[in-house]
Structure 1
Amino acid sequence: MAPAITLAAEAPKLSSANTGFMLICSALVLLMTPGLAFFYGGMVRVKSTLNMLMMSFISMGIVTILWVLYGFSLAFGEHNSLIGWNSDWFGLSHIGLTELWPGYSIPVFVFMVFQMMFAIITPALISGALADRVKFSAWSLFIALWVTIVYVPVAHWVWGADGWAFKLGVIDFAGGTAVHINAGAAALGVILVIGKRVGFKKDPMRPHSLPWVMLGAGLLWFGWFGFNAGSWLGNDDGVGALMFVNTQVATAAAMLAWLAYEKIRHGAFTTLGAASGAVAGLVAITPSGGAVSPLGAIAVGAIAGVACAAAVGLKFRFGYDDSLDVVGVHMVGGIIGSLLIGFFATGKGQSAATGVFYGDHTFTQLWKQCAGVGAVLAYSLVVSAVLAFLLDKTIGMRVSEDEEISGIDQAEHAETAYDFSGAGGGVVGSVSASALATAAQTKKVDA
């Protein structure tokens, strides 16, 4: 997604087709955040449903404003290898309507808004690890700080024209490092600071609505085509089409692999496993889909499906409370997808870089991928933990134990997801009355 270098004589002209395509892709990526809200919202208990939805929705408000004010400028302006800056982009105040993104046939505004949607969903991903126990005000402030201090610099490293990882040759087509490893490592850093939920490993904490989970996974899968295929910023050479195909292929392979793993390990094919496996495949193909073949995408998806399914159980072994498996799916899936580029890159997709299985016997690309993965993981983990620590010691990150037990929805939002009083109570009441009448009639017959 970084700008290409072109000669003045070859400067592209605005393409209405590519512009329209990218606007559609931007809308698809935005849809992923409500999809994520449904996915996470169905996985929590009833008393935390609204809070989980709001933790995703609030990101759409906060990050949008910050991205317009300074986020885009810091992430994609040219300044140095660690951070960018372009004063003309501050507040988007000096961007022409038809001013093109360098090297491409789409306006700067279109590239900006596409990248905004990435910035919105990345902190929302973190929220799944923190279910049931974080103050909404503290979470909102965390989003603002984290996007500024963590997401923006990492996006510059990976996708900025002068970012160190981009110049090194680290391949990240659509966000394996900048989005998924970044969010997963941040989630781990925060939960190590704020601690476990009340009743972790003791009380049942089953999903309250698996249909919600499946709906959310379906919306994510649908929106991910914009997330991945759109990251090539056009349709002129077939690479975006390759990424579209590989997104579907890897996701299918990962879902099947996860289901096979849990059938062998636990004896059942679960709907939660199908949804989680699909997301694991989407995560893993995100960095790699422009570099591998469809057969390679099957391998990437299958490996991620099994590895992520195994990784979600690590929280019980090591005692960290990753509520909705953000670490096991996004961090692990992002690492796998990023590193497998070093093995499966064909040299016939987004670049000429090849992996070990296609002739790179010096492991050149693999080491580059390791450098990108390690740097993003370490930076996000440490800085996110420090941010959480500072917030916890100042305004406090967690709700009280009583509020957590009684339900964070009522404590933080003064609402509940399901209201069985009033009109809803009529249905419940009639069912109860019917049951009582049936029981009474049965008793008479028995007598």
Structure 2
Amino acid sequence: MAKVLSTKPHFCLLALALLFAAAAMMPGQAQATTPPATVLEIERSFDQAMAALDAGQPEAAIPLLQDILALDPKLIRVRLELARAYFMAQQWARSREEFFRVLSGDLPEPVRKTVLSFIRQIDARRGFDWDLSIGFTTAGGSRTYDSDIVNANTAFGVLPFSITRADEERLPAVTATGAMNFRRALGSNAAGTTTSLGFASLGFDLLEAEGRRYDSLQLRAKFGLRLLSEKTTASIAPFASTQWAAGDPYEDRFGIEAAFERRSLMGGSAYGGLSYAVVDNRANSAFDGRFMSALAGFRRSVGGRSIVGTELYYERRTADQMWVGRQGYQSLKWSIYSSVDVGRGWTLSPRLYVRHRDVLEQHASWVNSADETGIGGSLRLEKTNTFLPGGYTPYFQIDAERMRSDVEAFNSRVLGIQIGVERRF
């Protein structure tokens, strides 16, 4: 059973303050002489979930609370207890997301402060935890091009040349993403308003298909320092990553990253980050160079059940010999996204974006600019009240993108589909 952190004072405050929210949760119920069957079913399930939490068994409470929210995703008290159950089960990302959702609900101010306190505790968590998701997708053939013809300047004028692209067969593949994390408290200031901790993590992304052509494995490791106050989390961390492609070493990166988040009592969150890395391409030294990125975003909880947000992301990749292909580029992407509990146990997470990509050094023979502009998006569907052995829930995701360039051979379309399971507790 997962170790339960000591949070009794917060839970007591949460329970007392939530009496106001509970009264407003089902208006008119006090006048009903015979509660509807659905209400009785919710009450029975909620009592069972509370008994499981009191007994220190969050794994038993989580499916019950998810089933209640499948019937009525607007029940703020139930979502709060679900966030607490994930907290007890040490499923930190899930707990943090649910706590953040309820901040936009009709809650007394003491409850909001307690919710922010829980989010801070999650960011200040200590010890070891891990996450894993496994999916089935396809490898190869996901990107198609409008043309293989490039118009190039030659001594004889402008002539068309054909780009040789290997035929890509779309094959079934397995994808997996996971992370192991360890954190240790370092101390706090005299007033206890700021806490610091050290952390280390090891993560991986894997794609495995028949043969070796599309196989890919990336390992990431980082360690650093995290600073926390009531409403702010900030971190800085050196990192290293290595990638294998088709079974052979491909690229290593060594760098440093910084991130922050600022939260409000009403469910707003401003966040961002910077990253810089030296790139060592072991497949072709001409691709060695530098990589940097910057992210700024804002998201907000809505109605106690949804999250909406927007992001602006910039990245720049330089290569020692940028004339080789299109290895030197800069890209700017603006996204809008949401995550909505639509009921019946379904969570819908759409994302749309516009992206522009500049090639830093155009090839001398190209007649037209190879810069690209396009739109894309993704849609993820999760069944949060269906639990498979091991505490996993199923998901389905589809990704699409359309890019256009003055070089017709770089006009492309991407369509990818993935179905899998993700660990909940």
Q: Common fold, TM-score beyond 0.5?
A: no
Between Structure 1 and Structure 2, which shows a larger proportion of strand residues? 2
Query: Bigger relative contact order, structure 1 or 2, given CA contacts below 8 A and separation 6+?
Result: 1
TM-score, structure 2 as length reference? 0.25
Between Structure 1 and Structure 2, which shows a larger proportion of helix residues? 1
Structure showing greater Rg: 2
TM-score, structure 1 as length reference? 0.24
